[in-house]
Structures are given as structure tokens and as C-alpha cells.
Amino acid sequence: FPDIEVNDKGHLLIGGADAVELADEYGTPLYVIDEMRIRENYRRLHRAFSGEYSRFQVFYACKANTNLAVMRILEEEGSGIDAVSPGEIYTALMAGFDPDRILYTGNNVRDDELQFALDSGVRINVDSRSQLRRLSEIAPEGLRISFRVNPLVGAGHHEHCITGGEMSKFGVMEREAPEVYKMAMDLGFEPVGIHAHIGSGILDPEPFMLAVETLMDIAGRVHEATGVEFEFIDFGGGLGIPYTPEEEPLDIDEFASKITGLFKDKLSEYGLGRPMMCLEPGRYIVGDASYLLTRVNTIKESYRKFAGVDAGFNTLLRPAMYGSYHHILVAERPLDEPSEKMDVAGNVCESGDLFARDRQLPEINEGDVLAIMNAGAYSFSMSSQYNSRPRPAEVLVREGQVDVVRERETFSDLLRGQNVPARLLKR
Ligand code: LLP
């Protein structure tokens, strides 16, 4: 769990900025992104893996956080992008990523989306035979592609976040992999990569080890059956971060050495040469780098005690969607000891709109600012305008310097693009 920093007023500091002052100045709810935390996370992971195997590349899974400034930071750090939609490809290109460093892994992709990916010049990671067939109708001869394979191993913090195994809609079946690579070659493609992503929010190295082993065995079988020379092998993302104070962070050096050790053994076992080893972390890079600031406007002593805030599951969906725990600090007094149990409730008109149930928290008063932690991944990117709430602003902080990197939406954004037919405008 990151150390909590306070200033001389005792207020929470984020990237050197006073969280209470940020809330006063920019309004709430407000996402605050700590630039150096992103850079540190990226560098720690990159150093750990490239120290063990120099041909290593990160493809940041930008679905976690598509803010342009965040993507610029990662471009500067040398990352590539894992994109899952034309919109993510577009955003990555606008953020300055070379198409060569964007890997497009779509699921249930339309023909025009394949065309868009082709025209953009990004690398295409194929998910199914259907996609391969449809791509072959529009692709130039010799297009270099890769396949997402389901290695029959799955793991994740919630059932919705497990993407390998027999229940999963993703990827090519493990046993049909050699045949599918053969089919690609017959259709005039040049397959150069193999990919798997088993799930998200994994703190235990074991399922990863199993996935690496399985994917390498599949790569070995494909190589033997078809002669494909792999230029890259991509193990996807999924590296978890602690959300509760009790959870232990991954020991990234130990993790890297285990994974690369197994990877290198398997490379020599199957004579696979020295392909690029890739990972697609999203959460690990940005998860702990943001805080959601929200102000308490109502303390209600009903059948239970509620602290009512001005954000809701439209702002941060994870607690409502997955029952996820997000640690909550009082920005004015983040070091105060918990003193009573309460629920922290959002402002959406649904009973499931809770940021915390039965949470031990310090004394909270109306007007206090709460800092919801670990709101960097799958937070703003999963936000919506539900209940006709304009989406919040985002600020980027670094050494006390604050930049608004996304304006708060206004009411007019709620109506943008809507047209009322003339016949309804009478009177
Ligand atoms: N690569 C692929 C192909 C993915 O589908 C994903 C995540 C990642 C990489 C990055 O996974 P990460 O390193 O961030 O775990 N909304 C959920 C998480 C969904 C993840 C979907 N795919 C949540 O809030 O926990």
C-alpha cells in the first residue's frame, strides 16, 4: 500500500498537491492523477523484466485509462499500446504512438473495424477463424499477424474478469492453434506472434506460471507443425495491485525472474530463438496512480449510518459492478484512526450505489473531502453519464504542479448529438 503523505496542515498530498485545495479549486468529483507514480510503476516493471531478458516490451493496456496525458507519459517511457477498439487505436495514434507499437486485440470485430486497423497500420492480433477469414478478404499479401489463444488457464479478481478457460469467449482454442496458423499461411498471411491474456487483478504468480507454460507449449507445437518463427510472444496483462491494506503487492523482481526463467527454458526446449517477450499490464501501471476526490454532503443516521457523497457508480463503477474494495481516506485528516462503521453512499438513484458497506472509518463530517484510492485503472474509463451527471474533470499532478487534463463536462455535453424531430417541436 503506498505511503500516505501529508503536508503541514495534515492534509493528504497527491503528487505534492494538497488534496483538499484541489477539491476546493477544481470542484468534486475530481480524478487526480499522480504522474510520477505512473512512471515509477512502469519503470519498476520494465526494469524487472528487461533485467532478466533484454528483448522485452510493454504494451500498456489503455482500456485501464485512456486519458491522453497518461498515454503521452507512457509513450515517453517507451511503452507500446494494447488497443481493443478502433477508438483506442485512434486515441493511441493521437497520443503519438507509432502504429508499429500498437497491438490491436479485438473481440467480435466488424469488417469495417478490421479495415480501420489495417488502414492505421497497427498490428492485428486475431481472435477467431471468422476474423481471420474476413481479414484475408481485405488484407495485403504477407500481412504480419498474431493470434490470441485461449490457454485454458484463467484467473482474476472476479468471475467477469477471467478471460481464459472453457467459459471464455476470447481467443482461438488451444488445440486448434497449429491448424489455425496453417490456415493463416495458406491464406497468404505471415504469422509472427502468439498471445494470451488469462484475466485481470491477479496477485498470485501461480496461474501466470501455468499460462506461460501452456502458451509456450502451444507456441512450440505451432512451430513444429508449421515452421512459424515467432517474433513476439505476448502473455497479456492481469498483474494485480493491493486494494485492501491486508493484500501484499506482487514481488515484481521475483515474479519477473520466475516468468522469464520458465520462458527461456521453453524457448530452448522448442528451439524458438529469441523472440520479443511482451506483457500488457493496465492496472499495474496506472491503478494506484489516481485518487477520486468526492465531497460528503449528507450525513444520515437512518437504520444505518450513511456518509453521502457527490460521486456515484457513474463516476466509479468497480464497487457496484464487482463488489470491489477501494480504500477511502478523509483528505483533511488521512492519518486519523477509524472510529465507527458506516456506509459511504453515492448520489445515483440505485441502492447498489455504495463505495463502502460497513466500513470502519474515522469521524466524517459534512463538507469533508474523501479520497477514494486506487482509482487509476478502470475508473474514469468505465464512467458514464447515468442519471444525467456530466463526467468529472481530471487533473494531473507532478511535484505540486497541477494541470487540468480533462475538463469537467457540462449540461450541454448531456445533449450533444441529440436531435428532436421537427414534428415534436410544434407549439
Ligand atoms: N490485455 C488484454 C487482452 C486484456 O483484455 C486486458 C484487460 C489487459 C491486457 C489488461 O489487464 P490488467 O493488466 O489491467 O489486469 N474492468 C475490470 C478489468 C477488466 C480487464 C479487461 N481486460 C476491473 O475493473 O477490474
Helix axes 205-226, 252-270, angle to 10 degrees: 20
Q: What SS3 class is residue 296?
A: strand
DSSP characters over 297-359: EEEEESSSEEEEES--TTT--HHHHH-----EEETTSTTPPP-EEEEEE-SSSSTT-EEEEEE
Q: How far is the CA of 64 from the centre of ligand 1 (A)?
A: 7
Contacts of 196 (CB under 8 A, 6+ apart): 148, 149, 150, 151, 164, 171, 211, 214, 215, 234, 235, 236
Determine whether the shortest distance from the Cβ of 201 to ligand 1 is under 6 A. Answer: yes
Find out whether the peptide bond into 421 is cis, omega within 30 degrees of 0: no
Question: Could you say which DSSP state residue 278 is in?
Answer: E
Contacts of 246 (CB under 8 A, 6+ apart): none
Determine whether the shortest distance from the Cβ of 376 to ligand 1 is under 6 A. Answer: no
pLDDT confidence of 165, banded at 50, 70, 90?
confident
Burial code (b: 16+ CB inside 10 Å, e: under 16) for 230-264 equals bbbbbbbbbbbbbbeeeeeebebeebbbbbbebbe
Q: What is the tens place of the pLDDT at every residue in 217-232?
A: 999 999 999 999 999 9
Q: If you average pLDDT over residues 185-202, what whole number do you get? A: 97
Residue position matching grid coordinates 499532478: 397
What residues form the annotated binding site for pyridoxal 5'-phosphate? 238, 280-283, 378
Q: How far is the CA of 150 from the centre of ligand 1 (A)?
A: 15
- Best residue for ligand 1 mutational test, from 200, 279, 380 (most atoms within 8 Å of Cβ): 200
What residues form the annotated binding site for substrate? 283, 318, 322, 350, 378
Helix axes 111-120, 86-94, angle to 10 degrees: 20
Nearest ligand 1 atom to the CA of 201 is 15
Active site residue 349: yes
CA distance linking residue 391 with residue 383, whole number of Å: 7
Determine whether the shortest distance from the Cβ of 105 to ligand 1 is under 6 A. Answer: yes
* Percentage, residues of the chain above pLDDT 70: 100
Rounded to the nearest 5°, which phi and psi values hold at 383? -80, 160
Q: Is the pLDDT of residue 168 over 70?
A: yes
pLDDT confidence of 167, banded at 50, 70, 90?
confident
Nearest ligand 1 atom to the CA of 158 is 25
Nearest-CA residue for ligand 1 atom 20 is: 200
Q: If you average pLDDT over residues 12-16, what whole number do you get? A: 98
Q: If you average pLDDT over residues 344-359, what whole number do you get? A: 97
Q: Average pLDDT, whole number, for the chain?
A: 97
Determine whether the shortest distance from the Cβ of 80 to ligand 1 is under 6 A. Answer: no
5 is written with which cell numbers? 503523505
Q: Is the pLDDT of residue 50 over 70?
A: yes
Q: How far is the CA of 306 from the centre of ligand 1 (A)?
A: 32
Rounded to the nearest 5°, which phi and psi values hold at 288? -90, 5
Nearest-CA residue for ligand 1 atom 16 is: 378
Nearest ligand 1 atom to the CA of 105 is 3
Determine whether the shortest distance from the Cβ of 199 to ligand 1 is under 6 A. Answer: no
- Quick one: CA torsion of 209, 215, 218, 219, rounded to 10 degrees? -120
Domains of the chain: residue spans and CATH: 5-34+287-415 (2.40.37.10), 35-282 (3.20.20.10)
Radius of gyration in angstroms for the set of CA atoms belonging to the chain, rounded to a whole number:
23
From 62, 161, 278, 349, the catalytic residue = 349
Q: How far is the CA of 125 from the centre of ligand 1 (A)?
A: 16
Q: How far is the CA of 81 from the centre of ligand 1 (A)?
A: 13
Determine whether the shortest distance from the Cβ of 13 to ligand 1 is under 6 A. Answer: no
Which pLDDT belongs to residue 2? Answer: 67
Q: How far is the CA of 200 from the centre of ligand 1 (A)?
A: 5
Q: By CB neighbour count within 10 A (0-12 exposed, 13-18 middle, 19+ buried), where does 416 fall?
A: exposed
Q: Whole-structure pTM over 0.90, yes or no?
A: yes
Nearest-CA residue for ligand 1 atom 7 is: 200
Determine whether the shortest distance from the Cβ of 161 to ligand 1 is under 6 A. Answer: yes
Which pLDDT belongs to residue 55? Answer: 98
- Give strand pairing partners of 307: 299, 344
* Percentage, residues of the chain above pLDDT 90: 95
- Give strand pairing partners of 290: 33
CA distance linking residue 416 with residue 419, whole number of Å: 9
pLDDT confidence of 1, banded at 50, 70, 90?
low
- Contact (Cβ atoms closer than 8 angstroms) between residue 311 and residue 294: yes
Determine whether the shortest distance from the Cβ of 280 to ligand 1 is under 6 A. Answer: yes
pLDDT confidence of 427, banded at 50, 70, 90?
confident
Q: If you average pLDDT over residues 377-391, what whole number do you get? A: 98
Q: What is the tens place of the pLDDT at every residue in 77-112?
A: 999 999 999 999 999 999 999 999 999 999 999 999
Q: How far is the CA of 126 from the centre of ligand 1 (A)?
A: 17
CA distance linking residue 233 with residue 200, whole number of Å: 19
Q: How far apart are the first and last CA of the chain?
A: 60
Determine whether the shortest distance from the Cβ of 238 to ligand 1 is under 6 A. Answer: yes
Contacts of 229 (CB under 8 A, 6+ apart): 192, 223, 273
